[in-house]
């Protein structure tokens, strides 16, 4: 039962990220490639994809992942509360970003 739930959650996250990438003008399949998806996500949020390399540095990675979610919310025209939603309830808020009415504005 646990594996079935984990599989379903993984599929939901992949579909949500696919839609977010397509909205931002990136190829949807990019969410399936392990390091390239982080590069694209940082490119969407920060405007510089190479910042994802800072997530490989211990202790710095937590700070940059938190910043990523808030910048991602701003890049889609959402506020700080939505950034907290991305931080704590990521699959749900990624679905809202992907299937909702918010449009990609660009890095702020």
Q: What is the pLDDT of residue 108?
A: 79
Q: Which residues contact 95 (CB under 8 A, 6 or more apart)?
A: 12, 15, 16
DSSP codes joined into one string, 48-73: -GGGGGGGGSTTHHHHHHHHHHHHHH
Query: Is residue 9 classed exposed, middle or buried when 0-12, 13-18 and 19+ CB atoms within 10 A define those classes?
Result: exposed
pLDDT tens digits for 42-82?
A: 999 999 989 999 999 999 999 999 999 999 999 999 999 99
Question: Which of these, 66, 98, 51, 37, lies nearest to 29 by C-alpha position?
Answer: 37
Q: Would the pLDDT of 22 be above 90? A: yes
Measured distance CA(80)–CA(84) in Å, rounded: 6
pLDDT of amino acid 67: 95
pLDDT exceeds cutoff 90 at 23: yes
């Amino acid at each position: 039962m646990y594996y079935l739930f984990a599989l379903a959650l993984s599929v939901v996250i992949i579909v949500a990220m696919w839609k977010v990438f397509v909205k931002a003008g990136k190829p949807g399949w990019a969410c399936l490639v392990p390091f390239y998806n982080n590069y694209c996500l940082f490119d969407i949020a920060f405007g510089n994809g190479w910042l994802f390399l800072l997530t490989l540095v211990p202790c710095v990675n937590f700070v940059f992942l938190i910043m990523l979610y808030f910048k991602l919310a701003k890049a889609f025209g959402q506020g700080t509360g939505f950034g907290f939603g991305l931080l704590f309830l990521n699959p749900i808020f990624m679905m809202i970003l992907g299937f909702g009415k918010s449009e990609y504005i660009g890095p702020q």
